Structure 1
Amino acid sequence: MDKVYHFFTLAMIGLYWLLVAGVTFRVVLKRRAVSVSLAWLMVIYIIPIVGVVCYFLFGELNLGRKRAERAKMMFNPFGEWFYLLNNCNAHKRDGLGTHISKIDRLCNNRMGIPALVGNELQLHTTPQESLLSVINDIKQAKHSIRMVFYIWHPGGLADSVAAALIQARKRDVQVKVLLDSAGSVTFFRSHWAKMMRDAGIELVEGLEVSPWRLFLRRLDLRQHRKIVVIDDEVAYTGSMNMVDPAYFKQNSGVGQWIDIMVRVEGPTVNVLSAIHGWDWEVETGDRQLPALPECDINIPDDSKPIQVVPSGPGMPDQLIGQVLKLAMHQAEQSVRITTPYFVPSADLLDTIKTTAQRGVKVDLIIPKHNDSLMVQWASRAFYSDLLSCGVNIYEFDGGLLHTKSVVIDNLFCLVGTVNMDMRSLWLNFEVTLAVEDPSFTYQMYQLQTEYIEQSELLSHNQWEKRSLYHRFFERVFYLFNPLL
């Protein structure tokens, strides 16, 4: 009996190390950042068995066979639709400004999406303002309403949005709502989900979380876009989930979430509608490309362009990350960044440091208190390098600053759903607007100034005096930063 037990033990150990060797070989063969590969190897070897399981669950960008096949088949039809926008007089390549012209070429070459002029923008600087505006536009809807959100949490004005959608459906308006399964789990368990479906609203649970799919699709791959499109005439996007902050995560100890949304009218609305159509088809297989925007229109000479920049599985890799780095490399005077989660890749970190070392004023505004303790510690691991390069770091103390924005030289800005972390830049479905409109950019800059007024500027000398306890946890979580 002892010999059988001994043989069984040796066989299990041998099988385990054979599995570890196989996973190691797979990690090494994957073309990705060296820091990511080393972090995974560390997890696999330091945490026996669990590390291997974690790699199968989270280690590779796996959309799932059915969705991956759909995304592959969709790329050409959507690409052809996007490319037709180049023939629209809303695309004025010769009239593009300095900052956006290179971004236009990058997005056009990689995905066929051009920058378009002829848009009207409104910046909503509070969730209450955003929600009330969305409700008002829903009430005016005549034909269609399309939404995609990461989180929909019942309560407050979010319930008013749901009620407005139900009323719109009673007016025979087509309503399609796509919500991430993990982010909106509370909503799907609420009575609102049943009420909306009973009213005839097409409510889809995106990237469904299920124990039966544990090893078939990466579980932390999430639908992180926030888009509202009404009658293909009005659209919204930005950092805000469909939540009323007064009713959301009140016990997290970080204060209310601070968010923005951008209301858009003009040709860019149709592009955002197409992005929603992409997400809808990936999840359901149902193709509904919007009509092309009206091209026979008079475009004012001073009408500034917007470039829609999407990313996610099935779309060109690292497109938003490339746009971020390209924008910062073009900065001549100043760069201001707001992000709730700051765990940058090595190349993005180098871009920020190099920008500051060129003499460009770089301000980084991040929340002092974060709902993710691991991210908070990992973020602080970058402070010393950034401060030594001259980056100004402000810790916002007026709530969880969830706004994702970058303002370049007070002339150009990026706003959208993207955090400055590996998850947003490499993994999730995201969308960003690149806007070259001095008036809108000035509003965004002034809002960032208001954030700074509620923040504490870190001193490099004071930061270097932090305790050994803090330094230890910063380094521990820094080692895992490619996986956060």
Structure 2
Amino acid sequence: MTLTIYSILNYTFICSYWILTIIIIIRVLIKRRTVSSFMAWLLTIYIVPFMGIILYLLCGESNLGKKRSLRSKIAQSTSIRRIQELKNHKHIFSNKNSKIASSLFKLCELRQGIGALKGNQIQLFKKIDNTLASLIKDIDLAKHNIDMVFYIWEPGGLVDHIVTKLIIAAQRGVKCRLILDSVGCINFFNSSYPKILKKAGINIAEALHINLLRIFFRRMDLRQHRKMILIDNHIAYTGSMNMVDPKLFKQNIGVGQWIDIMIRIDGPATTVMRIIFEFDWEIETGEHIVPVLSSSQHLMQQKTTLISTGHTIQIIPSGPGFPEGIIHQVLITSLYKARKQLIITTPYLVPSDDLLYAICAAAQRGVKVHIIIPKNNDSVLVNWASRAFFSELLDAGVLIHRFQKGLLHVKSILIDHQLSLIGTVNLDVRSIWLNFEITLLIDSKLFNKDLEKIQLDYIAHSKLIDAQKWSKRPYWKRIIERLFYFFSPLL
């Protein structure tokens, strides 16, 4: 009798496992994904029984959850209406672009419904101290609203000055809103700052809150990775900087001070960034923001001061609720557009096969390709996985520079001295296909000359990888690289 019960339980367990496995495999098949990602998931499910299934349920699909998905649909309709309003102001849209940028702008306009915007004043900051000093001045002058989105907000040091200024601004009647990622800002949410800020009248939305009870109903590693600041509907900041003091942030992990760049924009491009913020805010809170000034009123005010600066910007948001795969399309197209030079800076180099081939093809057709990465990385997984790509890149003639003066956190691509992509997107699967990100596509020889100076300074403080020495590295390192490479489609 005992044996019979044991056999029934055993049979039930085995049947349940295989039924669940088949269901998950069907879900893997139905979801359109790259072949490498598809094979990685199949192997994970088969090689690691149960754990592979659990991993897929946790992070196999870009699932926002029921509540956020419903809010996303409502927010999308609002965004479309706001974009249609902008299209009535034809004076802000660029009709004359450089040859290298024209087709990219057309691609973005077709996929996003809005074209590139001209007449933008741009200031590029290569030091966080200077960024925060400029931001403090703008906060002091703010009259209507201050809105921020950050992946990491770490209390202490220079950041405390920003907190003080925000509280003073809120007390004089400026509407202040913060969207902060639940995981990246865990130290912030565990501190006394949320209570202090809320008491001062500052609204805080904890983005993509981790809830263990709903762990299989929403993808928990989907993160709000944008870095964005909006002040009074005409000033905006974005780039790679989190709200941290680099002299204090993660100084105990042995990677040195974090190096970032940030861009300050004054012009029509900020109106599109505001639409993105309103979308993110509605997803997290369900609250629809009514602007102090409508897009029409704001742009009519700007029309008298709009000047031809040569700075044309295409704003490219990505993540759930935005055109799928758009940043991947833009990256691939940009790389194939290069004819003379490519300079890429990224802290995490785990490219898709398509991106890897595009980079290699550029070098093989005579383009001088530089990739600048940090010598040391805060992610052990990414640090090893990225090395698996070095041999192929070096064989193609790509120059790989390892930055020696800290953790180079900048995400930028400069193409033929004319066109650049700057923002929050790392060259890895997570940034390109999953997270909420923002990228600026900037068509301006004058601006990109400044960017190139910064990138060349990074190269001057880097060590070039010698292809011959790299080919002679120990086999145990190659084995570790290949093991982590196996999981690269999932990183």
The answer as to 2:489 corresponding to 1:482 is yes
The answer for the alignment partner of 2:240 in structure 1 is 239
Give, in whole Å, the separation in 2 of the partners of 1:351 and 1:43: 28
The answer as to 2:172 corresponding to 1:165 is no
The answer for the alignment partner of 2:22 in structure 1 is 21
TM-score, normalisation: structure 1:
0.97
- Structure 1 counterpart SS, 2:123: strand
Give, in whole Å, the separation in 1 of the partners of 2:414 and 2:80: 29
Give, in whole Å, the separation in 1 of the partners of 2:116 and 2:488: 33
How far apart are 1:75 and its partner, in Å?
2.0
- Structure 2 counterpart SS, 1:348: helix
Give, in whole Å, the separation in 2 of the partners of 1:304 and 1:450: 23
The answer for the alignment partner of 2:448 in structure 1 is 441
Moved more, 290-299 or 129-138: 290-299
The answer for the alignment partner of 2:394 in structure 1 is 387
How far apart are 1:335 and its partner, in Å?
0.6
1:185-240: CA deviation from partner (whole Å, max 9, x where unpaired): 10011111110001110011010011112011000000000000011121100000
Give, in whole Å, the separation in 2 of the partners of 1:96 and 1:83: 22
Contact preservation (8 Å) 1:79, 1:111: no
Distance 1:226 1:278, change over 3 A: same
The answer for the alignment partner of 1:133 in structure 2 is 134
| Structure 2: runs of 5+ lacking an equivalent | none
Aligned equivalent of 1:346, options 337, 348, 353: 353
Which amino acid in 2 is paired with 1:214?
Answer: I
Alpha-carbon RMSD: 1.3
Give, in whole Å, the separation in 1 of the partners of 2:408 and 2:424: 13
Give, in whole Å, the separation in 1 of the partners of 2:220 and 2:229: 25
1:130-151: CA deviation from partner (whole Å, max 9, x where unpaired): 1121122111111110001011
Give, in whole Å, the separation in 2 of the partners of 1:51 and 1:326: 34
The answer for the alignment partner of 1:175 in structure 2 is 176
Aligned equivalent of 1:428, options 429, 435, 440: 435
1:51-71: CA deviation from partner (whole Å, max 9, x where unpaired): 111100100010111111221
How far apart are 1:84 and its partner, in Å?
3.4
1:38-61: CA deviation from partner (whole Å, max 9, x where unpaired): 111111111111111110010001
Q: State how 1:41-440 maps to structure 2 within 5 Å.
A: 41-288=42-289, 290=291, 291-292=294-295, 293-295=298-300, 296-297=303-304, 299-301=306-308, 303-440=310-447
Contact preservation (8 Å) 1:90, 1:267: no
Give, in whole Å, the separation in 2 of the partners of 1:193 and 1:399: 30
Distance 1:157 1:298, change over 3 A: closer
The answer for the alignment partner of 2:13 in structure 1 is 12
- Structure 2 counterpart SS, 1:407: strand
Moved more, 289-298 or 258-267: 289-298
Identity of aligned residues (%): 47
TM-score, normalisation: structure 2:
0.96
Contact preservation (8 Å) 1:180, 1:223: yes
Moved more, 374-383 or 266-275: 266-275
Please identify runs of 4+ aligned residues in structure 1 that moved more than 6 A: none
Give, in whole Å, the separation in 2 of the partners of 1:431 and 1:395: 25
- Structure 1 counterpart SS, 2:103: helix
How far apart are 1:98 and its partner, in Å?
1.6
How far apart are 1:289 and its partner, in Å?
5.7
Contact preservation (8 Å) 2:343, 2:414: yes
Which amino acid in 1 is paired with 2:372?
Answer: I
Give, in whole Å, the separation in 1 of the partners of 2:221 and 2:382: 15
Give, in whole Å, the separation in 1 of the partners of 2:263 and 2:166: 20
Which amino acid in 2 is paired with 1:317?
Answer: E
Distance 1:301 1:269, change over 3 A: closer
